[in-house]
A = this chain, B = another copy of it.
Amino acid sequence: MLMSAAEYRESLRRYRPRVYVNGRQVESVADDPDLAPGIAAVGVTYDFALRDEHKLLMLATQRTSGKVVNRMLHMNDTSTDLLYKLEAIRLLCKYTGCAQRYLVHDSMNALFQSTQRLDAAAGGREYHARFLQYLHFVQDNDLTLGIAMTDAKGDRSLKPHQQANPDVYLHVVERRADGIVISGTKAIVTGAPYMHELLVMPCRSMTQADKDFAVCCAVPIDAEGLTIVSRPAGRPGEAAAKFTGKYGQSTAVCLFDRVFVPYDRVFLDGEWDQSGFLTTTYATHHRHSCIAARAGFGDLLIGAGVLMNEANGLDPDRHGHIRDAMVELIKIVEGFFACGVAASVYGQRDLSGVMQPDAVFSNIGKLLLATQIYDMHRLAHYVSGGLVVALPGPDEDHNPATQASLAAVLAGRPDVPASQRLEVARFIEDLTASNSGGWYSIISLHGGGSPEAMKREIYRNYPLEEKAALVEQLLDRGIADGTARVRDTQPGRCCVTGCDVPVVPEAAA
C-alpha cells in the first residue's frame, strides 16, 4: 500500500503524540502550521513514488516479500539499488531541501544486517525474524520512522554509565516478561513530531558496563511516556521564506520517561558488543544518503545562481570571476556526489544479503560535504552580490509609499522584472543566510557524525597494509628473506576496496 502525500498527512491523525513547539503544546500535528513544511517535505517522498516518471528511482521490489515498496523503505540487494537510492534522494532533496525519510532506509538496512549478525553470534535468538516482521509491517503500511539515535550525552568526557544523570543516555530501566521499559533523552531527532514511529538506536560503541544503554527498539510516536520538544520546521509563515516556508525540517529533543516496549519491537537489548557494529553500519548507509541529500541542496544553489546572474545582467562567459564561482560550486557538489557514486559501485554485500555502500567512499563524501557546505554558502553569496543584506522585506512589497520606487530601481537586466530578481535573492537568503541556512550548515557538519568520526572510519577501513606492501615490493624489501608483507592487490580487485570490480552494463532501457 503506497500512500499519497495527502494520505500520509491524514495518517498522522491516527496518533496523539505529546509535542511541544517553542513552549506551546501542539493540538494536531497534521494541522499545525509550524510543522506543515516538514510534513510537506516528507509528503514529496510519497507523491513522487506515485508518479510514473519517478517510479524507476522511487520504487523497488523487496526481496524478502516480493512486494514493491518505496525506495526509502527498501533493503538494497545490488549496487544498482545503491545508485538508484542515491539518485532518488537527490531528486527528493532538490525539491524539498531535505526529505528526511531516507533515514528510515539507512537505519532499516543497518538493522537488517545487525539482527542477522546478532543471531549468528548468539545462536538461538530470533532478532532477525522479529525485525523482518517489523520491516514488512513498515513497508506494507508505507510508514515513516524517526531515528532517535543521538543521546544528550552529558559530560563528553564520560561514558554512559559514568554520567551523574543516567538519563543523558537512553537506557533500559526495567525488563519485564513482555517487554522492556526505557528512559532517557535522544537529543537530535529529525522530523520527530510528524513521524509514525520512532526507531531508538544506540549512538556509540559500548563497554560491558554500559550494557543497559545498548538498546534498539521501535515505539509509536504517541507511546506513553514520550515527550517531544521540537523546533518549527523551516520558517513557516515567514513571507521572506521563499523555500523554507513550504518545505522544512523539524528537529526535536525526545524525552523518554519509562516508555514500555514489547519484545517484538526490540532489536537489541544488552548485547553491548554489537552496539558498535549497528552504529557504524547505520553511519555508513546514512553518510552515503547524506551525500545525495546535500547534492540536491546544491542543485538549488546552482539553479539560483544561474537565475541571479541573469537578473543581474552578468554573463559568466564574459565575467570570468562569476564563471569561476559557478564552476567552484559545481566542483564541490559533483565532487562529493561522485564519492556517493563510487561507494555504490564498490558496495559490498554481507552475509545478510544487504548491499552496503563502500565505507571509505561514503565517509569521504560525507566529510567533504560537511566542511564544504560553508563554501557552498560562500559561493551562493558571491554570486548573489551584496543585495541580500539590504533587501527590503516582503512586507515592503505592498507598501504603497515605496513599492513603485523600489520596483523601478531594484531591477537588474531590463527584461527581468525587479520582483523576479528580489525573489531569487530572497530564495538564496532563505537557503543560506537565515536560520534555515544555519540549520543546513550545522546538520551538514554534524549530521551522521562529526568530521572526526568520519576520519576515524576512513582510517579504519582503508587498505593501508596493502599500500605498504606495494611499496615494500617496489623496494625489493624482504622478498628474499621472507620478511616482507605478502599481501598484494588481488587480480581483478578494486584498488581501493579490494572487492571484485563490478561490471557496469548498459543503461536501463
Contact = CB atoms under 8 A, between A and B. Distances in A.
Contacts of A314: 156-157
B327 A459 contact: yes
A23 B158 CA distance: 52
Contacts of A155: 312-313, 412-414
B83 A504 contact: yes
Contact of A396 (B22, B365, B386, B410): B22
A390 B495 contact: no
Interface string A72-108: 0000001110111001001100110000000000000
A392 B446 contact: no
A interface secondary structure, majority: helix
Nearest to A497: B334
Interface residues of A, number: 178
Interface stretch (A134-142, A208-216, A279-287, A423-431): A423-431
Contact of A337 (B396, B477, B496): B496
Given A393-B231, A441-B378, A501-B56, A398 B23 contact: yes
Interface string A480-509: 000000000111101110011111111110
Interface in A370-402: 371, 374-375, 377-378, 381-382, 384-393, 395-399, 401-402
B306 A464 contact: yes
Given A155-B414, A446-B381, A471-B307, A330 B364 contact: yes
B501 A334 contact: no
A147 interface: no
A57 interface: yes
Given A156-B412, A389-B251, A475-B423, A455 B503 contact: no
Q: Assembly of this chain: how many copies?
A: 4
Given A23-B399, A361-B338, A470-B94, A386 B188 contact: yes
Interface stretch (A63-71, A125-133, A162-170, A263-271): A162-170
Contacts of A304: 471
Contacts of A20: 396, 399, 401-402
A114 interface: no
B504 A471 contact: no
Interface string A454-477: 011011001011011111101101
Contacts of A396: 20, 22-23, 229
B442 A330 contact: no
B406 A253 contact: yes
Contacts of A277: none
A420 to B, nearest CB: 7
A467 B388 contact: no
A220 interface: no
B495 A295 contact: yes
Given A56-B491, A91-B495, A472-B307, A377 B441 contact: yes
A54 interface: yes
Contact of A412 (B154, B381, B391, B467): B154
A259 interface: no
A395 B231 CA distance: 11
Interface string A297-336: 0011011101100101111101011011011001100110
Contacts of A439: 389, 433
Contact of A505 (B78, B251, B401): B78
Nearest to A189: B390
A414 B164 contact: yes
Given A253-B410, A455-B323, A501-B83, A335 B389 contact: no
10 contacts: A156-B412, A168-B409, A187-B409, A251-B390, A255-B409, A334-B339, A341-B341, A433-B438, A501-B508, A502-B507
Given A155-B412, A157-B315, A316-B459, 13 more contacts: A23-B399, A56-B491, A79-B506, A227-B402, A229-B396, A253-B410, A303-B469, A324-B324, A324-B455, A381-B445, A388-B442, A434-B438, A438-B438
Closest CB pairs A-B (n = 9): A433-B438, A53-B491, A23-B395, A386-B446, A500-B507, A303-B467, A303-B471, A79-B504, A338-B342
